[in-house]
Amino acid sequence: MTTQPLSAERAFALDFAAEIERIASGVRRALSTELNRRGLVVAISGGIDSSVSAALAVRAVGAKKVHGLLLPERISSPTSTSRGRLLAEHLGIEHEVFDIAPALEALGCYARIEEVCRAVHPGYGAGWKNKIVLEGGLEGRYNHFKLVAQDPAGKIHEARLEYRQYLMIVAATNFKQRVRKTMEYFRADRLNYAVVGTPNRLEYDQGFFVKNGDGSADVKPIAHLYKSQVYAMARFMKLPDEICNATPPTDTYSLAQGQDEFYFGLPYAQMDLALWAYEHGEGAAALGAALGISEAAAMAVYADIEAKRRATRYLGGAPILMGDPPGAA
């Protein structure tokens, strides 16, 4: 093990020109030899991951063979849509906007979420906003979730969620990713294109994706890259500053929320470094020194990484078969 101090510069150094060409070449090869598709569909959220994935798709097959989809819903930030349009225009790709709110309304997505919100905060109603916040794990306690709501006057209301209430909100919000993926595959089938998945390494490793939702795709060009590397790649590829400088939101709940609040417990740059350190056998003392936290807190971060791996392992797994299907090796 190296004696160099743990740092982002040491962990995330990458030859971006070579890596971009390697990814583009791999995507082209997958399309022609394994997928037998003639182009790529990318859902563009305006965030860094989908932006870099779209740019890599263009590098792989050219702008004329990449189709962008912007799939807003009732609580999507207008900024997300404007950034998505900006990216599509910057890359020169064909793109379309499809509002999935009517589909979510018909499926009962919003009604189910609001039912839980009213049960937890009895005054919840028109004009209120909500989000789920993760607490506990990095303080050495069990992870638990709070429902944070803001009333129309701006007052914040907080209450711990019962597990069944948490599951209902998550199940309902997962409609969003699954409906989006349905639209991606509809467009891909119509064009004989493949679907690009956009999770980065941190999300992929820690299960921050929806099974049969944003976790589903034909090719995932950045699943091996830490989010810090994705940001750096975006700048290397000269994507618009508005995208490169944006803070990653979840864009899942009506009240503004960062990924660290909902899932990771730390800002992405710190979680990236923690995951790299964990994967490379760095001790908790070294991680604590790098992040400016105690050794005990760093040990809690490592424990949380392992706990999320165990809890979400099934998300990326293939269906479990009870026998060998025809044609199995």
- Tens digit of each residue's pLDDT (9 = 90 or more) over 83-110: 999 999 999 999 999 999 999 999 999 9
The answer on pLDDT for 29 being more than 70 is yes
Q: CA–CA separation, 262 vs 137, rounded Å? A: 12
Q: What angle do CA 18, 20, 25 make, to 5 degrees?
A: 95
Say if residue 225 is in the same domain as residue 90.
yes
Structure tokens at 70: 């912007």
Is 291 part of any domain?
no
Does 269 map to a domain? Answer: no
Q: Is the pLDDT higher at 144 or at 175?
A: 175
Q: What percent of the chain has pLDDT over 70?
A: 92
97 and 197 fall within a common domain:
yes
Let me know whether 21 and 51 are in one domain.
yes
Please report which residue ranges of the chain form alpha helices under DSSP H. 8-11, 16-29, 48-61, 78-91, 101-107, 109-120, 163-191, 201-206, 227-236, 241-244, 259, 268-279, 284-291, 295-312
Q: Which of 250, 273, 290 finishes a domain?
A: 250
On whether the CB atoms of residues 67 and 38 are closer than 8 A, the answer is: no
* Cβ atoms within 10 Å, residue 135: 16
In a domain, 163, yes or no: yes
- In total, how many domains does the chain have? 2
Q: What is the pLDDT of residues 259-281, one digit of tens each?
A: 555 555 688 899 999 999 999 99
**Of 223, 250, 277, at which residue does a domain stop?**
250
18 and 149 in one domain?
Answer: no
- The least confident of 9-23, 164-178, 251-265 is 251-265
Residues 210 and 159 in one domain: no
Average pLDDT of 131-145?
68
The CATH code of the domain that includes 53 is 3.40.50.620
Judgement on whether residues 119 and 213 belong to the same structural domain of the protein:
no
On whether residue 267 sits in a domain, the answer given is no
Pair 97, 128 in one domain: no
Identify whether residues 113 and 198 lie together within a single domain.
Answer: no
Domain termination site, one of 250, 281, 306: 250
Rounded Cα distance, 37 and 84, in Å: 24
Give the model's pLDDT for residue 217. Answer: 97
Query: Do 224 and 97 have their domain in common?
Result: yes
User: What's the pLDDT tens digit per position in 185-240?
Assistant: 999 999 999 999 999 999 999 988 999 999 999 999 999 999 999 999 999 999 99
pLDDT above 50 for 1: no
Examine the domain organization and report whether 18 and 94 are in the same domain.
yes
pLDDT for residue 21: 98
Q: Which domain holds residue 60?
A: 8-106+173-250
Say if residue 220 is in the same domain as residue 240: yes
